[in-house]
Structures are given as structure tokens and as C-alpha cells.
Homo-oligomer: A and B are copies of this chain.
Amino acid sequence: MTHGDRNLNLDLDRRRRLGMVEAVWGADKTVEQILAAARRFAAAGQPLLVTRVEEAKAGAVRQQLPQLCYHPQARCLTMGSLPASPWQRLAILTGGSSDLPVAAEASIALACHGVEGELIADVGVAGLHRLMARLDHLARFPVLIVCAGMEGSLPTVVAGLLPQPIIAVPVSVGYGVSAGGHAAMEGMLASCAPGLCVVNIDNGYGAAMAALRILRILRMDMD
């Protein structure tokens, strides 16, 4: 197999085009592939986010490139200093503590872009009073990211109560019919509440980027 061009054909232009830090999906990459990507972006003076990196793989990467920082709950590596003071905040809700890794991935992806995510954990609908008690607080955020597994009804309930943009993230938590997160995802897409947006199962990063696209138009002049 000859290589028609450089084997590592990274999208160094994404930042200019979409205003997003380049992100590499680490799950199917080898340590060598992650290192090569990190070196290319370091050479270009650009930050980098690597998602879905298990602890052992992260350790092997950091042995070679200690300037990368590992965030264990989010299973992410970041390269480059994160913005110190956020220019915007949003809320990240979870139904249960099993949803925390996905919430953490969203949070770190937002932090790379100067947005702070405030975690509102364990407000699942099985104990509805926990959500109802926080409605006034939630009403103050411009965007809500809502993570839930099992039957995934939390985003539906939230979207019936609050008017902001709501990004629903199905989480692959559960067993039997909810194993893999498909029941949660279909429940969110089928929601009877109007205007819910859905991203792929466990896609905390995608939810963060969808939120970022929304937050950024808040500070633009558009005609």
C-alpha cells in the first residue's frame, strides 16, 4: 500500500471554519496515532481534545507527551491551556450518577471553548421533586444539556416545563431493552414535548458542540 499523501491528514482548518478545537475520537486509535495527532497540532500551535481514552491508554500517551492533561471521569485528554474565565455558562443535567461520564465529556469539551457547564446531577423523573425544586435555577441558563439513560424521559419532562434550547443526550445505561441506550434515544426522538434536539448515544462531545453553535450566535451580529 503506497500512500498518496501524508497518512495523517488532520483537519487543521476546522478551528477557522467552525470555531471549534480539533477533536480526535480516541477509542479506535492506537497510542501512536494519538501521539502523531498531538504532535501535529502542537507543531501548529493549536489545542487538541481527544475523547474516549481509557486510563491505561492515556497513561501511555502522557509518558511520551506529558503536556497532555487527562480528565479521568470524562475519559478525555486535552492539550493546550483551557480558557481561564468562561464567557458563558450552561447547565448539564443528569438523571442518575451513571450518566456522569457523559456529562463530564460534555463539560470538558465546553471548557476547551471557554464555556462553563454547571452540573445538576441526579434529577431523574423517578423522584420528580428533585427537578421541580430547581426549576427557577434552571430557567437562568441559555441552554440545557440533559443526559439520561434507561427510558430517557428526563429531557421530555424538562422540555415541557422550560423554554430554552434543550439538547438531549441518551446514555447507554441500563440492561435488557435499555442496554446500549437505544430505548432512551428513541424516547427522546419520539418525545411529546416540542422542540427537543437529540444527539447520538453517549455523545457528550456532540452535545457540547451543538450547545457551542447556539451560544456563539448569541454574541454575533447577524442580519
Contacts and interface: CB of A to CB of B under 8 A. Distances in A.
Q: Give this chain's copy count.
A: 8
Interface in A143-180: 143, 150-153, 156-157, 159-167, 170, 172-180
Interface stretch (A53-61, A62-70, A118-126): A118-126
B126 A160 contact: yes
Contacts of A181: 176
Contact of A152 (B14, B92, B118, B187): B187
Among A137, A156, A192, residue most surrounded by chain B Cβ atoms (within 10 Å): A192
Interface in A127-155: 127-130, 134, 137, 140-143, 150-153
Contacts of A182: 177, 186
A197 interface: yes
Interface string A1-43: 1111101111101100111100101011100010000000000
Which 8 pairs between the two chains have the least Cβ-Cβ distance?
A: A176-B201, A195-B209, A9-B122, A153-B153, A178-B190, A197-B197, A11-B127, A1-B107
